[in-house]
């Protein structure tokens, strides 16, 4: 490359290998994280027999710890001297196997564990393994989120990276729903006869053995994929080691919270993850107990993620032509309306409703996919906006707080899921049977809560998030000047 090229051109030029390597990172993370977002909640109530109240407070406590843990990891990424492989890639090697091991340990039911045998010990074990897994996942996610800004500085390539990341996330999330299809068995009594619930359907229970086998396989694949992620990625912008200036961390945090774009996209990401986690966790209860059709777990995910197969080809073009903010705001509005329509249909019989439910899951998924495909590109735009306005760039710190907002989404999901279970008086004891009244409340809460969460996202994107198509185009010009200044001041190198 000649020096007469623009600085953006010199720090860009991605090929197929780069996109694949970047997508593998989120696929690997989601292989194990999807276990937390989908089956861990029901595993805790139905296999460990832990109360929803304790689970809710455990999840909230873990997020309080993240408020300390995440910024520390962000500052480590920003201030530790880069290695030969760059500032962020090396963390994939460090975390690959510990993350997989901790994912398995969360689901191991050691002899003597279980709410009916040793309730206190089970709660302690669940808390320790869950918190350690969360810390390990932070060590992956903050460097991975920061990687996009040093892989390429071109806005178009970042749009494609965001799409590939979303594809990786979707592919990594699919296996857990295949696993769900094999982890239930029909309940029988002492004579071997099937046990029926008040709704006239045979009760099914989650089984430990297929769960733990599936978890081990997914964790192993995740670890191997993270090693490939390390091998296939390249950092093109090489940041020089930062001097440890007094007050630098405080200034970086202040710049984040003073930036409207960063706060808005962080709140949208928080609500997106809250809605996704709520539906993934609570639908396990809904499909098992209300519809008595566990096949709907895999079908609903197919409906939710299949729009990505179409939109992945069009979103980068739509983002350039119409604008990321503009497309995503309309998309999440569609998702909110689809879930509200599901709530209005609550009077229909489950047998008549299930296919309508899946059809509206497709509509909701289509709307949400617009934001899922562009979320990370919009986050990087917000960080660019901070750099242009302040002259400082701290990707690790920025992504640590962005990641923390997403973890607040986990808190919202935990409160909504367990609050809904408590509100409907869900019976979690071994051999429990849900009442018809409980099941009706379950459906109402399963539909109205996502409608509210996605509606709030639409308001944020329409009203608060400021980076319209015109502003992003202007930002690209301003960023070129910043890159030139940083290179001439010797604060970055170009690979």
Residue of 148, 189, 139 lying closest to 23 (CA atoms): 148
Q: Which domain does 341 fall in, by range?
A: 7-494
Q: Is the pLDDT of residue 2 over 50?
A: no
Cα–Cα distance list, 298 to 148, 199, 282, 440 (Å): 31, 23, 14, 22
Q: What is the pLDDT of residue 495?
A: 62
User: What is the pLDDT confidence band of residue 494, given thresholds at 50, 70 and 90?
Assistant: low
Instruction: List the structure tokens of 223.
Output: 């670890």
Q: pLDDT of 47-67, one tens digit each?
A: 999 999 999 999 999 988 887
d(CA 253, CA 269): 18
Q: Write the CATH number for 354.
A: 1.20.1250.20
Cα angle 488, 494, 495 (rounded to 5 degrees) comes to 160
d(CA 374, CA 315): 8
CB 373 within 8 A of CB 309: no
pTM flag (> 0.85): no
Token pair in block for residue 488: 């001439």
- Residues with Cβ within 8 Å of 406's Cβ and at least 6 positions away in sequence, in order, are 266, 269, 270, 273
Domain presence at residue 470: yes
Q: List, as own/partner pairs, every contact residues 296-302 make where C-beta atoms lie below 8 angstroms and the sequence separation is at least 24, other chains included.
A: 296/354, 296/357, 296/358, 297/177, 297/180, 297/181, 298/177, 298/178, 298/180, 298/181, 299/358, 300/357, 300/358, 300/361, 301/173, 301/174, 301/177
Given a contact cutoff of 8 angstroms between Cβ atoms, the answer to whether 92 and 226 are in contact is: yes
First to last CA, the chain: 10
8 Å CB contact between 224 and 230 = no
pLDDT the model gives residue 332: 97
Contact 372, 166 (CB under 8 A): yes
Burial class, 19, CB count within 10 angstroms (exposed 0-12 / middle 13-18 / buried 19+): buried
Buried b / exposed e over 25-58, threshold 16 CB at 10 Å, is bbbbbbbbbbbbbbbbbbbbbbbbbbbbebbbeb
Contacts of 280 (CB under 8 A, 6+ apart): 34, 37, 38
Flag the least confident range among 16-30, 71-85, 455-469, 479-493: 479-493
**Residue 221 located in a structural domain:** yes
Q: Give the tens place of pLDDT for each residue, 250-288.
A: 888 888 889 999 999 999 999 999 999 899 889 989 998
**Which range scores top for mean pLDDT: 101-110, 385-394, 473-482?**
101-110
Query: How high is the mean pLDDT of the chain?
Result: 88
State the burial class of residue 162 (Cβ atoms within 10 Å of its Cβ: 0-12, 13-18, 19+).
buried
In angstroms, the CA 387 to CA 398 distance is: 11
206 DSSP β-pair partners: 184
Residue 145 is assigned to a structural domain of this protein: yes
Give residue-wise pLDDT tens across range 238-250. Answer: 766 556 566 677 8
Element holding 238 (H helix, E strand): strand 237-239
Residue 2 lies in a domain: no
Residues 411, 61 contacting (CB under 8 angstroms): no
| pLDDT one-digit tens code per residue, 408-439 | 998 899 899 989 998 888 888 877 888 888 89
* Helix, strand or coil, per DSSP, at residue 416: helix
| Residue 127 CB neighbours (<10 A) | 18
CB 38 within 8 A of CB 177: yes
Lowest mean pLDDT among 3-12, 429-438, 458-467: 3-12
Residue/partner pairs of 239-245 with CB below 8 Å, 24 or more apart: 239/82, 239/87, 239/150, 239/491, 239/492, 240/490, 240/491, 240/492, 240/493, 241/79, 241/80, 241/81, 241/82, 242/78, 242/79, 244/79
* 153 burial type by CB count under 10 A (0-12 exposed, 13-18 middle, 19+ buried): buried
Residue carrying structure tokens 């999330």: 173
pLDDT of residue 435: 87
- The answer to whether residue 1 sits within a structural domain is no
SS (H, E, C) 242-269: CCCCCCHHHHHHHHHHCCHHHHHHHHHH
Domain count, the chain: 1
pLDDT at 243: 60
Is residue 192 classed as helix, strand or coil in its secondary structure? coil
């Amino acid at each position: 490359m000649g020096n007469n090229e623009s600085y953006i051109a010199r720090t860009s030029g991605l090929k197929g290998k780069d996109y694949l390597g970047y997508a593998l990172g989120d696929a690997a993370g989601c292989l194990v994280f999807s276990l937390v977002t989908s089956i861990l909640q029901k595993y805790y109530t139905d296999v460990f027999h832990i109360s929803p109240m304790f689970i809710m407070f455990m999840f909230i406590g873990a997020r309080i710890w993240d408020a300390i843990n995440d910024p520390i990891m962000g500052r480590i990424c920003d201030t530790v001297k880069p290695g030969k492989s760059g500032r962020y890639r090396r963390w994939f090697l460090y975390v690959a196997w510990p993350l997989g091991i901790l994912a398995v340990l969360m689901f191991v039911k050691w002899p003597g564990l279980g709410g009916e045998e040793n309730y206190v010990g089970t709660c302690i074990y669940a808390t320790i393994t869950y918190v350690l897994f969360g810390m390990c996942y932070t060590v992956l996610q903050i460097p991975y989120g920061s990687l996009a800004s040093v892989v390429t500085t071109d806005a178009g390539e970042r749009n494609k990276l965001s799409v590939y990341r979303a594809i990786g996330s979707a592919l990594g999330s699919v296996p857990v729903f295949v696993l769900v299809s094999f982890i239930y068995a029909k309940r029988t009594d002492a004579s071997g006869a099937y046990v029926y619930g008040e709704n006239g359907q045979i009760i099914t229970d989650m089984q430990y053995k297929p769960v733990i086998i599936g978890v081990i396989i997914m964790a192993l694949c995740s670890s191997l994929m993270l090693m490939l992620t390390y091998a296939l990625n390249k950092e093109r912008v090489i940041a020089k080691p930062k001097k440890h200036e007094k007050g630098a961390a405080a200034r970086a945090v202040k710049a984040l919270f003073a930036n409207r774009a960063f706060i808005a996209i962080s709140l949208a990401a928080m609500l997106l993850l809250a809605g996704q986690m709520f539906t993934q966790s609570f639908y396990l209860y809904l499909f098992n107990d209300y519809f008595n059709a566990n096949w709907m777990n895999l079908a609903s995910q197919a409906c939710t993620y299949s729009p990505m197969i179409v939109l992945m080809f069009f979103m980068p073009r739509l983002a350039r032509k119409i604008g990321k903010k503009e497309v995503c705001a309309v998309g999440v509005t569609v998702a909110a309306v689809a879930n509200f329509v599901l709530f209005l249909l609550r009077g229909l019989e489950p047998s008549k409703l299930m296919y309508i439910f899946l059809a509206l899951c497709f509509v909701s998924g289509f709307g949400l996919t617009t934001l899922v495909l562009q979320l990370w590109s919009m986050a990087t735009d917000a960080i660019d906006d901070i750099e242009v306005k302040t002259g400082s760039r701290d990707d690790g710190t920025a992504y640590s707080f962005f990641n923390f907002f997403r973890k607040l989404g986990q808190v919202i999901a935990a409160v909504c899921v367990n609050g809904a279970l408590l509100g409907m008086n869900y019976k979690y004891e071994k051999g429990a049977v849900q009442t018809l009244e409980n099941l009706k409340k379950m459906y109402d809460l399963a539909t109205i809560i996502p409608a509210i969460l996605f509606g709030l996202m639409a308001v944020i994107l329409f009203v608060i998030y400021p980076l319209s198509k015109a502003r992003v185009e202007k930002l690209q010009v301003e960023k070129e000047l910043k890159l030139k200044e940083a290179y001439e001041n010797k604060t970055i190198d170009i690979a």
